[in-house]
Structure 1
Amino acid sequence: MKNLTPLEKHVIVDKGTERAFSGKYVNTKEKGVYTCKVCDTPLYRSDDKFDSHCGWPSFDDAIPGAIKEVTDKDGRRTEILCANCGSHLGHVFKGEGMTAKNVRHCVNSISLNFDKKKATSKMTLAKAYFAGGCFWGVEYYLEKIEGVKEVTSGFMGGTVKDPTYYQVVRTNTGYLETVEVLYDPSKVSYETLAKTFFEIHDPTQADGQGPDIGSQYLSAVFVNNKEERAVINKLIKILESKGLKIATQVLDKTPFYSAEKSHQDYYDRKGGTPYCHRRVKRFA
């Protein structure tokens, strides 16, 4: 990250914060796209910007795949980074009720550029949610599918706000280890993702997955709409017609929380292959 001013380096590299209400984009209302100061990757659309009165530019959504969320070292806040170059942008806060999406990306102006000429149309990426035991293994297989942009390990289905990994595995939070799959529907269908999910874990196991026993390891699909539910139900009927007793739950989507950084891309970072997941062909 060359040619940064001392203040830009303080925020973008050293993860500092610019003074409230001092940034050039706090009150910007023009149409356009906010891009990364370092690599110029499009990050936020002006249509998703709102006035939070917090002193920094606020957005309730990001361009799909442009942002990466990681837990701060203190374990209390969630940092947001440019997914392309890793530049520090700010923090994301959920559950404040400021917009219908209930999310606030609090971004430092100094981490951004603004382009009035870039198109602001929404990208056509979609998200899918699968729980099939330890999320390390599910992530390992799903992220290898062509058309999948990113797979994030996390938690879904519980009641505690911003759960930690140890809360989920050691207490009764109601969460399942779940992966969020960001994919391009023009390159891979939801049904293909779902078929892969049913083939990389044992959907008949009712008490966990492989040696991982417990409620956090149960098999489930969290659906966004009735179309996804219909796809999952169709695939379950196919498997049941082959004599399998399917334990997979089909549940409505609830808030998804990313797991800590140490749980992301686990096998790619550590090497090896999943110990409790393997591909078993179940569909023609």
Structure 2
Amino acid sequence: MKKLVYMLIFVSVTFVGCAQAQKEDNKSLGYLRELTPTEERVIVHKGTEMPFTGKYDKFYEEGTYICKRCGAELYKSDDKFNSGCGWPSFDDEIPGAVKRTPDPDGMRTEITCAKCGAHLGHVFLGEGFTTKNTRHCVNSISLDFIPAETSKMEMAKTDTAIFAGGCFWGVEYYMEQAPGVISAESGYIGGSKKNPSYRQVSSHTTGHAEAVEIIFDPSKTDYETLAKLFFEIHDPTQVNRQGPDIGDQYRSEVFYLNENQKQIAEKLIAQLEMKGFKVATKVTPATKFYEAEDYHQDYYVHKGSTPYCHKYVKRF
């Protein structure tokens, strides 16, 4: 009997300790909010809410669905449809936002938030509900919703930075992990041709640089912090190359959007030169930024790897 009592006490203490560790981990990772026990059952422990009970099952307002735990954007309302299954259904996700993992039994494919790993539900193919022939079956409890008008108001409170530092895959990878960054998008800037393709840029005939457009929240970070990070995730002394990637599209360049950004970039370059770095980075007024092809966005997230020609080196 005593052994049984001791075992129950041990299990109880272990469970409480694990739960406390989970809460502390949530805070340390900077998640949007703490989870209730009911939310944790689904989001962390991969449970399923009862059908036809979720908040967003029969909900069709215009806006964006985000991860309940970390706030990452997952789905647009335009991709939501009524499948009659009892859970919110989407036939597409925001590129790079959702990770697919086959269940151990091979019967279904789990979908999770690509940013924090929160369990969303499962994805099914070939059912014929829409022309995309895909159904993301998502637990409402794993989601929050931002109305379209709210999104517009929030965007008005953001700022933008554009940096080119070698292959945009690596710059995007590091920038989108920085605190305060809302989004990082790979694209082309600084050339003569309108809406260039990757092949055209790589032919060295358009003058474009591979660059990343960063949208950030000025209340959580600032341009100088991001500019410092830019100079520390690539080698600003290399000319028309970055690591093994060679060509004018891989040049180091800051494309400033206002005089303040220009002054900050020039100040940081001067600081690096005072430290002995022969900085090759150009500081240029921003022109039209063209979004790169879909397969370039969140490249390392999709590939499940890390950059081969970029790494963080403290320089400030």
Write the distance in 2 (CA, Å) between the matches of 1:118 and 1:192.
Answer: 27
Change (3 A) 1:133 1:39: farther
The answer for the alignment partner of 1:169 in structure 2 is: 202
1:96-111 to structure 2, matched below 5 A, reads none
User: Shift in Å at residue 119 of structure 1?
Assistant: 10
- SS across alignment from 1:282: coil
RMSD: 2.5
The answer to whether the Cα contact below 8 Å between 2:159 and 2:217 also exists between their aligned partners in 1 is yes
Write the distance in 1 (CA, Å) between the matches of 2:225 and 2:302.
Answer: 26
Residue in structure 2 matching 1:41, options 54, 60, 63: 63
Highest Rg: 1 or 2? 2
The answer for the alignment partner of 2:251 in structure 1 is: 218
Write the distance in 2 (CA, Å) between the matches of 1:266 and 1:118.
Answer: 29
1:210-264 residue CA offsets vs partner (Å, 9 max, x unmatched): 1101000000000001100010011001100000000000000100000000000
Gaps of 5+ in 1: 1-36, 43-82, 90-114
The answer for the alignment partner of 1:273 in structure 2 is: 306
The answer for the alignment partner of 2:6 in structure 1 is: none
1:157-208 residue CA offsets vs partner (Å, 9 max, x unmatched): 0011111111101241000000000100110010000000000000000131
The answer for the alignment partner of 2:31 in structure 1 is: none
User: Shift in Å at residue 40 of structure 1?
Assistant: 3.1
The answer for the alignment partner of 1:247 in structure 2 is: 280
Aligned amino acid, residue 133 of structure 1:
G
Residue in structure 1 matching 2:220, options 172, 187, 190: 187
TM superposition score normalised by structure 2: 0.54
Change (3 A) 1:268 1:119: closer
The answer to whether the Cα contact below 8 Å between 1:138 and 1:200 also exists between their aligned partners in 2 is yes
Change (3 A) 1:160 1:87: farther
1:124-163 to structure 2, matched below 5 A, reads 124-163=157-196
| Ranges of 4+ aligned residues in structure 1 off by more than 4 Å | 117-122
Write the distance in 2 (CA, Å) between the matches of 1:203 and 1:258.
Answer: 24
The answer to whether the Cα contact below 8 Å between 1:125 and 1:184 also exists between their aligned partners in 2 is yes
User: Shift in Å at residue 41 of structure 1?
Assistant: 1.9
Change (3 A) 1:124 1:268: same
Write the distance in 2 (CA, Å) between the matches of 1:232 and 1:217.
Answer: 18
The answer to whether the Cα contact below 8 Å between 1:41 and 1:84 also exists between their aligned partners in 2 is no
Change (3 A) 1:88 1:172: farther
Gaps of 5+ in 2: 1-58, 65-72, 80-146
User: Shift in Å at residue 135 of structure 1?
Assistant: 0.2
- SS across alignment from 2:290: strand
Write the distance in 2 (CA, Å) between the matches of 1:275 and 1:120.
Answer: 36
User: Shift in Å at residue 120 of structure 1?
Assistant: 7.3
The answer for the alignment partner of 2:271 in structure 1 is: 238
TM superposition score normalised by structure 1: 0.60
Aligned amino acid, residue 200 of structure 1:
I
Write the distance in 2 (CA, Å) between the matches of 1:238 and 1:211.
Answer: 27
Write the distance in 1 (CA, Å) between the matches of 2:300 and 2:152.
Answer: 36
The answer to whether the Cα contact below 8 Å between 2:253 and 2:281 also exists between their aligned partners in 1 is yes
Matched, 1:85 2:68: no
Give % identity: 52
- SS across alignment from 1:85: strand
Write the distance in 2 (CA, Å) between the matches of 1:221 and 1:205.
Answer: 14
- SS across alignment from 1:220: strand
Write the distance in 1 (CA, Å) between the matches of 2:287 and 2:256.
Answer: 9
- SS across alignment from 1:267: helix
Aligned amino acid, residue 299 of structure 2:
Y
Write the distance in 1 (CA, Å) between the matches of 2:227 and 2:151.
Answer: 32
Q: Which has the higher helix share?
A: 2
